[in-house]
Homo-oligomer: A and B are copies of this chain.
Amino acid sequence: MMNLHGIYPPCITPFTDGQIDTAGLAHNTARWMTTGLRGLLALGSNGEAAFVDEDESERVVATMREHTPRDRVLLVGTGRQSTAATIEATRRASRAGADAVLVLTPFYFKSQMTPDALVDHYRAVADASPVPVLLYNFTNVTGINLAPDTVALLSQHPNIVGQKDSNGDVGQVAAIVARVAADFPLLVGSAGTLYPSMMVGASGAIIAVANVVPDLCVRLYDLVRAGRHDEARILQRRLTPLAVAVTGTYGIAGLKAVMQIAGYAGGAPRMPLRPVKPEAVVVLQRLYEELVSGS
């Protein structure tokens, strides 16, 4: 049984001249491996998976696998709009080295994505997948919600082993935890609610800001686990401004800019995303320095 508890970055995909910067990705991966991160997520939203083709995806996974020892977990995002394409992407990710896959709900035809349709989709993927599957719910991107009752039903499938929920809705986190078995881990995707989410039973997080300050995120996780609530709350508050800046305010372009500041390979996102403006880099630099200088 894979232990999924802990902190993961949804790893950015660095580009140089629009092409995947495999050297940069290897550098980032190796550096992440010097921290307390439980593992990595390749090709999530922050990895610009929506902009990376199937061959490139395989290259990204292979590169990261090479620098990720087997006692860490390499998750790979393989959600596609069709069930067949999701299965195909899952198989390729598995061959390229994924320990497990993270499958975003399909969402192109929102009104047709009933609980029944989602259950059939996930079961088909889980049946076909050579590796364990994690559900992935992210309403801001998809416009649909994977309801706690649907998660509970799917959690009984032997090859569905956990969930990521990025909605930042702590009530829903509690509702899911209350409906699934104790060994079905729920990882949250919203750094600003990591502390309260863990207090209601989340098992960890896959959060953008862990790309750039992995050790601080792991420390917050450890403080909560140790019941050191006052310190946890203080660290949660300190982390939130940068976390919000690299997701809501400036998005991936902002995250990549901070990565660069922190000595990771960052670079520009692919179009239609646009690099952040110089003013934003100044703000991000200040937020980053305030955070790390205080630690």
A interface, CB within 8 angstroms of B: 18, 45, 50-51, 53, 81-85, 106, 108-113, 116-118, 120-121, 124, 140-141, 143, 168-171, 174-175, 178, 190, 192-193, 195-197, 199-201, 227, 229, 233, 236-237, 240, 248, 251-253, 270-274
Contact = CB atoms under 8 A, between A and B. Distances in A.
Contact of A196 (B81, B199, B251, B253): B199
A248 B111 contact: yes
* Chain A contact surface mostly: helix
A113 B174 contact: no
Given A110-B140, A140-B110, A271-B83, A196 B190 contact: no
Given A82-B270, A109-B251, A120-B271, 9 more contacts: A50-B81, A84-B270, A110-B140, A111-B140, A171-B190, A174-B193, A175-B192, A178-B237, A195-B200
Given A174-B236, A193-B174, A272 B51 contact: no
B178 A192 contact: no
User: Can you tell how many copies of this chain the complex includes?
Assistant: 4
Given A170-B171, A170-B196, A84 B271 contact: yes
A273 B258 CA distance: 40
A273 B229 CA distance: 43
26 contacts: A45-B108, A50-B108, A51-B82, A53-B85, A83-B271, A108-B141, A109-B251, A109-B273, A110-B141, A111-B140, A117-B272, A118-B272, A120-B274, A168-B171, A170-B170, A170-B171, A170-B196, A171-B190, A171-B193, A174-B196, A174-B240, A196-B200, A200-B233, A200-B236, A201-B233, A227-B229
Contacts of A233: 199-201
A231 to B, nearest CB: 13
Given A51-B82, A83-B272, A252 B109 contact: yes
Contacts of A143: 143
A241 to B, nearest CB: 9
A137 to B, nearest CB: 15
Contacts of A110: 140-141
Given A170-B171, A229-B227, A82 B272 contact: yes
Contacts of A108: 45, 50, 141
A236 B50 CA distance: 39
Nearest to A253: B112
A200 B168 CA distance: 14
A81 B51 contact: yes
